[in-house]
A and B are shown apart, each in its own frame.
Chain A
Amino acid sequence: MDFFTELLNNPGITRAMWPATVETLQMVLIATVFTIVIGLPLGILLHNTGKGGLLPVRWLNVVLSGIIVNITRSIPFAILMVALIPLAKAITGESLGPVAASVSLTIGTVPFFARLVETALRDVSSGKVDAALVMGSTKMQVIRKVLVPEAMPGLIAALTTTVVTLIGYSAMAGLVGGGGLGRLAYNYGFQRYDMGIMLVTMVIILIMVQIVQIVGDIVARKIDHR
């Protein structure tokens, strides 16, 4: 019992935990929105400029796939984070805090999400695309009315994985000035070696991940009519 009463009286928990959680949610939410806005079209472009896509353009596919996606993905996130601080400052006007961290979070996860989108689209059978074309669809109609809706269960699964990854990245962002639960765990848990704070932070992050995964699975199942 002693351990829990101590936790409840720990100012690191009673005072700092809630704002830190809000900051983390803020980072994850902003980054999720922008990852979808940028990553979905990028993934669609990756798929359709590739071999067997609707609009095979070799050079564009090589540039998108080889250079942007693969290079960005091969840089460890912690390093990318630091490297992008000037960019974050240019866009948001600040180099610290959750909003600034969202910039590098987004740039870190967009290539990851785009690859998952590409994979999900590739799972749509080419027969369906042929059928849509034979019925007189434009390429845009094929994408909007066939490719994306048919891949939706896969896209939701991709988004779930991406958000879970984002939650993990957001903790790392805390170490380099992003704030949130990552910073809390670092400041209290690591530097002061406060085991209680460490544990509570971990539990909160675990709950976040679980909720995202469960909601993602439910939605994916709901819309899957295959």
Chain B
Amino acid sequence: MITISDLRKVYRQGNNDVVALDGVSLEVPTGKIHGIVGHSGAGKSTLVRCLTLLDQPTSGTVAVNGKELTNVSDDELRNARRRIGMVFQHANLFDSRTTEQNIAYPLELVGTPKKDVAKKVSELLELVGLTQFAKGYPSQLSGGQRQRVGIARALATDPDVLLCDEPTSALDPQTTDEILELVKELRNRLNITVLIITHEMHVVKQACDSVSLLEAGKIVEHGDIEAVITNPSGRLAATLLPLPGDAPQVEGAGPVVDLLYTGDQATEPVISGIARKFNTDVNVLAGSVEHLGDQQFAHLRVQLAPEADLGAIVEYLKSAGIAVTVKEAK
């Protein structure tokens, strides 16, 4: 479990104070994968540097399993850092070391006996599926393989939290999915808490249980994937499950309605339900249906017949547990 409370970071730039983090609070329970998304400049990098104490936060605290990382001595900080394994965008492997020496690095630091190091390294290599590359150098590996080594190295100290900073932003789509699969598999096996900082919505869809939207140093939206995706007024819903292509705007006769629904409701035939119950036509203008995690989500834009009883239909949909937004006619 990682607990961030009221984290603030203010940089001094010339004569101005620049607020990079403006009171970020967050708790990720053990064994959950949490995504923090935001555009560049939202404060993601600052947040990462403050979480690992590479930069000292101006105020606020970071704690792993209840143990504080902030406000401790240098010695304690070094030990505390070992409770957080970190994965970087460009892996940041040491080019002068072989794959196995890279993974062994955090163990060497505390003088782990050679025999134990060798055992741990071979376990980790197997975990990330790179046993045959043990003696190779990072320059001989592909981007995805380098990231796997980075993950293995991050896990060498048996951390409680895995902090991933844009872990897939330098990878192609297929490799991205492989790395995210690996992260999920590791979470399931090791019951580790994972925090993924990213600008890619795809990563959130693929891997996260919950998500926060970071904007101008603040968390402006937050919740489980299911909750944020079915919140029609939220911005995460629109970006996580966008209508495909150029969804037609409100045109012609008849009210246009956006529907957001999840799981069980997604299997219920609500569209034909409207048609039968109200004896009217329903025209689907655009829609996307996706599996996120083990849940199914749908986002539909439909147009009703001009004479349809909009109020009653909305009531009917709402009673079926569907989030409804009536689009204003232009």
Write the residues of chain B forming the contact surface with A, with a CB cutoff of 8 angstroms.
52, 54, 78-79, 81-82, 84, 86, 88, 90, 92, 94-97, 105-106, 108-110, 137-139, 153, 157
Contacts and interface: CB of A to CB of B under 8 A. Distances in A.
B79 to A, nearest CB: 7
B52 A152 contact: no
Which of B109, B137, B153 has the largest number of chain A CB atoms within 10 A? B109
23 contacts: A127-B92, A130-B54, A133-B54, A134-B86, A135-B81, A135-B82, A135-B105, A135-B106, A135-B157, A136-B82, A136-B106, A136-B109, A136-B110, A137-B109, A138-B78, A138-B109, A141-B109, A145-B105, A150-B96, A152-B96, A225-B95, A225-B137, A226-B95
Closest 5 CB pairs of A and B: A131-B92, A225-B137, A127-B92, A149-B96, A135-B106
Contacts of B137: 225
B157 A136 contact: yes
Given A135-B81, A135-B106, A149 B94 contact: yes
A96 B189 CA distance: 73
Given A135-B157, A225-B139, A127 B54 contact: no
Contact of A150 (B79, B95, B108, B153): B95
A136 B106 CA distance: 7
Contacts of B88: 127, 130-131
A131 B84 CA distance: 12
Contacts of A132: 105
B278 to A, nearest CB: 60
Contacts of A70: none
Contact of B78 (A131, A136, A150): A136
A209 to B, nearest CB: 28
A128 B105 CA distance: 12
Contacts of B105: 132, 135, 145
A145 B88 CA distance: 19
A141 B81 CA distance: 15
Nearest to A130: B54
Interface residues of A, number: 21
A56 to B, nearest CB: 14
Contacts of B97: 149
The secondary structure that dominates the A interface is helix
Given A134-B54, A138-B109, 16 more contacts: A125-B92, A127-B92, A130-B54, A131-B86, A131-B88, A134-B52, A135-B86, A135-B105, A135-B106, A135-B153, A136-B79, A136-B81, A136-B157, A149-B96, A225-B137, A226-B95
A125 B108 CA distance: 21
Nearest to A150: B96
A202 B52 CA distance: 58
A146 interface: yes
Interface in A26-54: none
Contacts of B96: 149-150, 152, 223, 225
A226 B139 contact: yes
A145 B108 contact: yes
A131 B108 CA distance: 14
Contacts of B109: 135-138, 141, 145
Contacts of B153: 135
Nearest to A137: B109
A4 B326 CA distance: 103
Interface in A144-175: 145-146, 149-150, 152
A221 to B, nearest CB: 13
A127 B87 CA distance: 11
